[in-house]
């Protein structure tokens, strides 16, 4: 397996040889096109993906440990297939539409200024997660642990309190319709 430490991958589209499977530590990926690439069995530790297109990347058995995605596109990524060991990442100003976090244990994950339209969080553990100014339109929350999560500035969400754990989760007054929609009541 290839090992890369503190390497800067800028502007690489990985078209010629595909994405090299390996272990990446403290690496920077900037303006890279990784869409539809196979990242399976790779390991990313303390890496940053900035302005990258990672849509539909295959992350089966891929390890993400303290990885940041900034201004990146991750549409359709099946994060539920990645390696759950020490899994931790954060997302800033990214498009994460129709991705899947099914049954993942990702407490304290930060989603900031991101579009999570249609993303599946079914049975995920998002304890103390932060959704700061995030679009959660059509996002799926079912059996999701959102205890102590912060959704004060999140918008367009529909979360059924009867089907999710919300103890001490934080919401704004503007978010109440998204919590009460399953009760078929009118809020004026």
For residue 186, what are its two tokens?
A: 């009118």
The residues that bridge with 112 in the sheet, in sequence order, are 92, 132
pLDDT tens-digit map of 54-63: 999 999 999 9
- pLDDT exceeds 80 at position 90: yes
pLDDT tens-digit map of 2-42: 999 999 999 887 877 788 999 999 999 999 999 999 999 99
Distance CA(55)–CA(72), nearest Å, equals: 9
Distance CA(117)–CA(138), nearest Å, equals: 6
Tokens 């995920």, residue? Answer: 124
Residue 107: CB atoms within 10 A of its CB come to: 16
Torsional class of 39: left (φ above 0), alpha (ψ -120 to 50), beta (otherwise): alpha
Minimal CA–CA distance to 119: which of 128, 131, 107?
131
Contacts of 8 (CB under 8 A, 6+ apart): 27, 28, 30
pTM above 0.85, yes or no: yes
For residue 108, what are its two tokens?
A: 């304290």
């Amino acid at each position: 397996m290839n090992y890369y430490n503190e390497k800067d991958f800028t502007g690489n589209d990985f078209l010629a040889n595909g994405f090299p499977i390996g272990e990446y530590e403290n690496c920077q990926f900037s303006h890279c096109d990784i869409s539809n690439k196979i990242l399976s069995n790779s390991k990313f530790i303390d890496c940053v993906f900035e302005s990258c297109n990672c849509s539909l990347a295959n992350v089966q058995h891929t390890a993400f440990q303290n990885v940041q995605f900034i201004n990146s596109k991750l549409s359709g990524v099946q994060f539920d297939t990645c390696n759950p060991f020490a899994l931790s990442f954060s997302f800033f100003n990214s498009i994460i539409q129709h991705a899947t976090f099914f049954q993942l244990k990702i407490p304290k994950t930060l989603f900031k200024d991101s579009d999570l339209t249609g993303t599946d969080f079914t049975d995920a553990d998002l304890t103390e997660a932060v959704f700061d100014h995030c679009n959660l339109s059509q996002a799926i929350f079912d059996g999701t642990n959102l205890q102590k999560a912060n959704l004060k500035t999140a918008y367009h969400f529909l979360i059924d309190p009867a089907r999710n754990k919300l103890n001490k989760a934080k919401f704004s007054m503007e978010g109440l319709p998204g919590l009460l929609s399953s009760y078929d009541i009118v809020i004026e």
